[in-house]
């Protein structure tokens, strides 16, 4: 009895595994097609100050499947990393963001800041900085409006190497933000060694925000940013109450559904024109 039961489980396990492998192969094929065709697009989500002024936008990648469904990177970045496709994907994102910035500048409505997510895998490449600078030069854009968002996982692989890369990136005029701050398992000691511009507090901390409760972790994270003279931005703001509480703690920039969902570039223009967001004077290079 036990033996046949075990065999049954083995068969089940194999079937499940096979299904997972198939799903990954599907994703990989789909991503390859998307890279070769026009299957990738960028959406942009506003980042605003407490007075409603637009500070910048975050570029968020979307995979448009043949059936028209838009897929979030959460469900394909890991496959892209395992298959090495992330390098082409990452470069596609850089080129597409730079091209969009050029277009916005021509239209006279380029946000002052555009944040770009960079995967750990991509950042770990020996020639990461070189590739970034080549793509930037090809596009002919000024680096000063771009912020690279990196996670602790990306930054802490090889600290001396990371510091050197960050110095080169910042030396070239880009800014660097520590994304998903607070979700890593690393000690805080590394923070003082990293040349950063901004801490981006993860939305998991914002979910738990409630009136009349204390939030020692959030308060500490914001205080750390202030003491280190870094910008502090919170993501995942969905309610006015969350924003008020964060503002009281000293957070300066907010991003979340309360202000706007990630949207295609044209819709962002509309969002700005509607007065949903206010553009400050352009401080860029146009």
Q: Which of residues 193-222 bind Mg ion (CB under 5 A)?
A: 202
For residue 114, the minimal CB distance to ligand C2E (Å) is: 12
Burial of 115 (C-beta count, 10 Å sphere; 0-12/13-18/19+): buried
For residue 16, the minimal CB distance to ligand C2E (Å) is: 26
**b or e along 19-48 (b: 16 or more beta carbons within 10 Å of the residue's beta carbon)?**
eeeeeeeebbebbeebbeeebbebbbbbbb
For residue 255, the minimal CB distance to Mg ion (Å) is: 9
Q: State which residue, 90 or 111, has the beta carbon closest to ligand C2E.
A: 90
* Interacting residue with Mg ion among 117, 143, 175, 242 (CB under 5 A): 117
For residue 83, the minimal CB distance to ligand C2E (Å) is: 14
Q: State which residue, 60 or 230, has the beta carbon closest to ligand C2E.
A: 60
* Interacting residue with Mg ion among 114, 179, 198, 246 (CB under 5 A): 179
Q: Does 81 bind ligand C2E (CB under 6 A)?
A: no
Out of ligand C2E, Mg ion, none, what residue 72 binds, judged by CB under 5 to 8 A for its kind, is ligand C2E
Q: State which residue, 97 or 191, has the beta carbon closest to ligand C2E.
A: 97
Q: State which residue, 249 or 262, has the beta carbon closest to ligand C2E.
A: 262
Out of ligand C2E, Mg ion, none, what residue 219 binds, judged by CB under 5 to 8 A for its kind, is none
For residue 142, the minimal CB distance to ligand C2E (Å) is: 20
Provide the mask over 218-257, with x wherever binding to ligand C2E is found by CB under 6 A and - wherever it is not. -----------------xxxx-----------------xx
By CB under 6 A, name the binding residues for ligand C2E: 45, 60-61, 72-74, 77, 90, 93, 117-119, 149, 179-180, 203, 235-238, 256-257, 262
By CB under 5 A, name the binding residues for Mg ion: 117, 149, 179-180, 202, 235
């Amino acid at each position: 009895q036990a033996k046949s039961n075990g065999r049954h489980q083995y068969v089940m396990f194999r079937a499940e595994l096979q299904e997972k492998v198939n799903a990954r192969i599907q994703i990989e094929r789909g991503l390859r097609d998307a890279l070769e065709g026009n299957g990738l697009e960028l959406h942009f989500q506003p980042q605003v100050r407490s007075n409603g002024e637009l500070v910048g936008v975050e570029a968020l990648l979307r995979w448009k499947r043949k059936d028209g469904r838009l897929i979030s990177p959460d469900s394909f970045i890991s496959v892209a990393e395992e298959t090495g496709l992330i390098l082409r994907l990452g470069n596609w994102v850089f080129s597409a963001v730079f091209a969009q910035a050029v277009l916005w500048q021509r239209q006279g409505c380029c946000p002052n800041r555009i944040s770009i997510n960079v995967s750990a895998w991509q950042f770990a490449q020996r020639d990461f900085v070189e590739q970034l600078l080549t793509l930037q030069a090809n596009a002919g854009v000024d680096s000063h409006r771009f912020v690279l968002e990196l996670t602790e996982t990306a930054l802490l692989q090889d600290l001396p190497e990371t510091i050197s890369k960050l110095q080169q990136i910042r030396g070239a005029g880009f800014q660097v933000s520590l994304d998903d701050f607070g979700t890593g398992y690393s000690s805080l000691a590394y923070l003082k060694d990293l040349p950063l511009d901004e801490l981006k507090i993860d939305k998991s901390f914002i979910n738990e925000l409630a009136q009349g409760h204390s939030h020692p972790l959030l308060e500490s994270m914001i205080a750390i940013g202030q003491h280190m003279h870094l910008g502090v931005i919170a993501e995942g703001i969905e309610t006015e109450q969350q924003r008020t509480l964060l503002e009281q703690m000293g957070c300066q920039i907010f991003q979340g559904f309360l202000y706007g969902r990630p949207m295609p570039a044209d819709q962002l223009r509309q969002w700005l024109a509607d007065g949903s967001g206010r553009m400050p004077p352009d401080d860029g290079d146009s």
